[in-house]
Amino acid sequence: MAAYIVRRLIQSALILLGVSFITFVLLYVLPADPVRQIAGRSATAATVESIRQQLGLDQPFLVQYGNYLLNLIQGDFGRSYLQKTEVAQLIVSRLPATLLLLVAAIACELLIGLPLGIVAALNRGKMIDNGLMLTSFLTVSAPQFVVALLLLFVFAVKLGWFPIGGYGTFAHIVLPAVTLGILGSGWYSRIMRSSMVDVLRADFIRTARAKGLGRSKVILGHALPNAILPIIAMIGIDIGLFMSGIVVVESVFGWPGIGQLAWQAIQRVDIPIIMGVTLVSACGIVLGNLIADLISPLIDPRIKLR
């Protein structure tokens, strides 16, 4: 077990190294010039050059990347070009909001998706199954900014049940979490349905019925624990999808998390922030998968971590 975790952590470090390199390359070849953004349109060529030197952006690519890595190993994410603050500080101050949203959104996905998947599986081939699968198709294919605006218009503007944006109370989190959750719930209901359909056909379900167990015990006690396994692996992967979703959703709802931070940084080519947010997100995805893999053997004793 310990050996497994150590090996996975080493793998994770290598993945993060890869992510940092690719992101750095992409930002380097980007036609946008961060120095222009900082100096402003009226700055002279001499000013621009001096800022470039100051930030070390005149150095060759490998030197820039090497310096970034060296600092990173010491826990230094660099300074924001425009906000003149430590990137680490910015991320730390905004991370709790994003984590809160993450937990709320995943809870939302599971609470909507899993029961619908189970209901569909139990009514396979009937109207209710077809209806639910069509709905899940719609939720999966609806763009998030559309869902966000729709929810805002109906529940915030027209009905006034929830605030239009911001952060602070429980009411603030509902609409962003639902926006993120609706997309995921479609995926989860589909996966849960097919997983459940497979499990319901299994021999041990027939054994459970032959014992004289009632329907609810057979479904909740025997089918569900077996059907839930693919879902756990899926949650690990889902964090990646989630990270791309928060950039849009946090911006629309004015949610002060790292997604909003990233959005502002991208607009202004604030490279240290973009790098920092990317690495923290990648870290979240890698850890999420590790945790999912560690949870699986607790549910299925056949899974051995090697």
Residues in contact with other proteins by CB under 8 A are 3, 6-7, 202-204, 206-215, 217, 221-222, 225-226, 299-302, 306
User: From the CB of 3, what's the least distance to other proteins, in Å?
Assistant: 4
Distance CA 188, CA 227 (A): 12
User: From the CB of 7, what's the least distance to other proteins, in Å?
Assistant: 6
Structure-block tokens of residue 74: 């010491």
CB 175, CB 164: distance < 8 Å: no
Nearer to other proteins, 73 or 210 (CB): 210
User: From the CB of 301, what's the least distance to other proteins, in Å?
Assistant: 4
3-state secondary structure of 253: helix
Nearer to other proteins, 82 or 213 (CB): 213
Nearer to other proteins, 103 or 299 (CB): 299
Nearer to other proteins, 72 or 128 (CB): 128
CA distances from 294 to 13, 31, 78, 285, 288 (A): 18, 42, 33, 14, 10
User: From the CB of 78, what's the least distance to other proteins, in Å?
Assistant: 34
Q: What is the DSSP string of 25-68?
A: HHHHH-S--HHHHHH-TT--HHHHHHHHHHHTTTS-HHHHHHHH
User: From the CB of 220, what's the least distance to other proteins, in Å?
Assistant: 12
Nearer to other proteins, 31 or 203 (CB): 203
Residue in the structure block whose two tokens are 């995921």: 184
Distance CA 224, CA 217 (A): 10
